[in-house]
Copies of this chain bind each other. A is one copy, B any other.
Amino acid sequence: MNDIDIEKLQGIANQLRIHSIEETTAAGSGHPTSCCSAADVVAALFFGHMRYNPKDPRYYNNDRFVLSKGHAAPLLYAAWAETGLFPTSDLLKLRTLNSDLEGHPTPRLPFVDVATGSLGQGLSVAVGMALCARLDKLDYRTYVLMGDGEIAEGAVWEAASLAGINKLNNLVAIVDVNRLGQSEATAFGHHLDVYAKRFASFGWRVEEIDGHDMDEILEVLAAVGLGEQPLVILAKTLKGAGISFIQDKDGWHGKPLNKEEAARAIAELQPRAKTGTDVQIPAPSQLPAPNNTAPASYPPLTYKLGDSVATREAYGNGLLRIGTVDPRVVALDGDTKNSTYADKFFKKFPERSVECFIAEQNIVGVATGFGARGKAPFGSTFATFFTRAADQIRVAGISQANINLVGSHVGVSIGEDGPSQMALEDIALMRAIAGSKVLYPADAVAAEKLLEEMAKQKGIHFLRTSRPKTPVIYNNDEKFPFGGAKVLRQNAGDKVTVVGAGVTLYEALKAADTLKAEGIGITVIDAYSIKPLGADVIRAAAQKTNNTVVTVEDHYAEGGIGDAVAGELSVDGIKVHKLAVRELPHSGKPEELLAKYGIDAAAIVKKVKSL
């Protein structure tokens, strides 16, 4: 960029402001003032700095831009319209049902990698993208625009720390310090020094600028990539900048201008506005495309029936087996890799492994970034600690992200560590994520086969693994499609269908033996796929057992397997009796706890007899 025309960029910034005002006034809602504060920075990035192919927003070596302050969506849409990607007239369809120019950005749009709008999540995703660029030996850079208000989110500092540790000098954060939050001023107003000290202490290079001074903006952008640290640009701005009667005033958050105000604002801006459509955007460099191709198949399994293997260890085995032949596999963990067994992969493939330390929001955010760049990321920690990242997982659902989460140490069967370490709510949480798959293997074969499906398919997949060792009960060539279920015991005249999963499947099998000795038959089903549920298999079995089902799960009674089965099958007149953990559990031995909370073989026997 030898010939940057400052006046042109200033003009484009004003054009983006005009679009933002028009869009939100037409919609009758939205955040024009949050757009105006960032307009100069966005104009500089899109029309004077970033290297990308505007006709192909998903090109693999385009610079990436993440709008962490997602409520400034109208500004983002305006920028892309001004590149010529779509007609500027489309902007007036903002927030309508028939346009993908939604209230906050979603990847329904080709130029949006990940959904934003839940504040403070963009930086972590950007860290994932920046790590991915390094892995793929690509020179694209990742830019993330944040608001000053969202800096209060802890997730920002998890990401900032990891970026500093990894010396991501291909990552640039810009903070639009416009001083005003939604309901009051931020805690630090225009005191950029507060933010500067914080980012510096987290390992970042810091630049402070006037966010409305195009010279200053371009000067700091020209120095992007220097040094070994990630760069944060703290831009002092005014909310509503460019609109004389609104800028820097309280009470204008999330409020469109009425038609008269809009006309007055546009009259102020129009004389200094210029189009961006004639700007020649610099092309990204030509580098080899990353290898994101799945192999035709994975190496076979070698378990023997009766082997005693915890499903969490099978995860470690499987990740290594699959990752050895699948270059898309990336592993992430939060300082639990010796418990989740992710360390098997970490040791063999350190370049494709990311230690996120004890920061679970980062595991999910960084994984989302890798997924958005074509990888098959597998994040692992104790299942209950994924609850720490529940909002990132929710937003991954909105992003239609490609992430695999593997949570170990589920339920009371972990034993002595006590309730803080027991996942008893994870099924409920993960089922309620848009488009998610929830999987719960009982043995090592099921775990590894499900892992293969997770790697092959795109989407949000959650695998629930257990701490105790369990015997291998499936042959190595057994298939485990999503949405299936396995009938393990079934005889004519069975009284009840018992649905178990994970450790409770073995309790159901034990109960079947006990009951058989007393002349009572039960059908036993392994519900390894909780969402989608193997409903057809369970229904068919139930219809042969007096329409009576007992579910037994190492999870709370709410939102888990019992609710899933009842929620789908009650319409068929099937009665679902739930055995589940119904009170806050205590520390103890696994078998003591299964008994105390009524989910062991004895509890199943008792329930079946009572029906």
Interface residues of A (CB under 8 A from B): 27-30, 70, 95-97, 100, 102-104, 106, 108, 115-120, 149-150, 152-158, 161, 165, 181-184, 186-187, 194, 197-198, 200-202, 333, 335-339, 343, 355-361, 384-385, 387-388, 390-391, 394-395, 397-398, 400, 415-421, 424-425, 428-429, 431-435, 531, 556-560, 562-564, 566-567, 569-578, 583-584, 586-589, 592-593, 596
Contacts and interface: CB of A to CB of B under 8 A. Distances in A.
A395 B584 CA distance: 11
Contacts of A584: 397-398, 400, 434-435
Contacts of A343: 183
A337 B183 contact: yes
A327 to B, nearest CB: 25
B103 A418 contact: yes
Closest 10 CB pairs of A and B: A154-B154, A117-B420, A559-B559, A97-B588, A390-B390, A425-B432, A428-B432, A103-B418, A197-B201, A570-B570
B157 A154 contact: yes
B575 A357 contact: no
A342 to B, nearest CB: 9
Contacts of A587: 95-97, 102-103
Copies of this chain, complex-wide, total: 2
Nearest to A551: B567
A358 B390 contact: no
Contact of A187 (B117, B165, B198, B589): B165
A335 B183 contact: yes
A201 B199 CA distance: 9
A418 B109 CA distance: 14
Nearest to A346: B183
A578 B578 CA distance: 19
Contacts of A333: 183
Contacts of A117: 417-421
Given A563-B559, A570-B570, A576-B571, A338 B387 contact: no
B182 A70 contact: no
Contacts of A567: 557-558, 562-563, 566-567, 576, 578
A560 B431 CA distance: 11
Contacts of A30: 416
Nearest to A416: B95
A194 B475 CA distance: 52
B186 A420 contact: no
Nearest to A253: B338
A100 B572 CA distance: 45
Contacts of A431: 428, 558-559
Given A102-B587, A571-B576, A184 B388 contact: no
A24 to B, nearest CB: 10
Contacts of A564: 558, 563
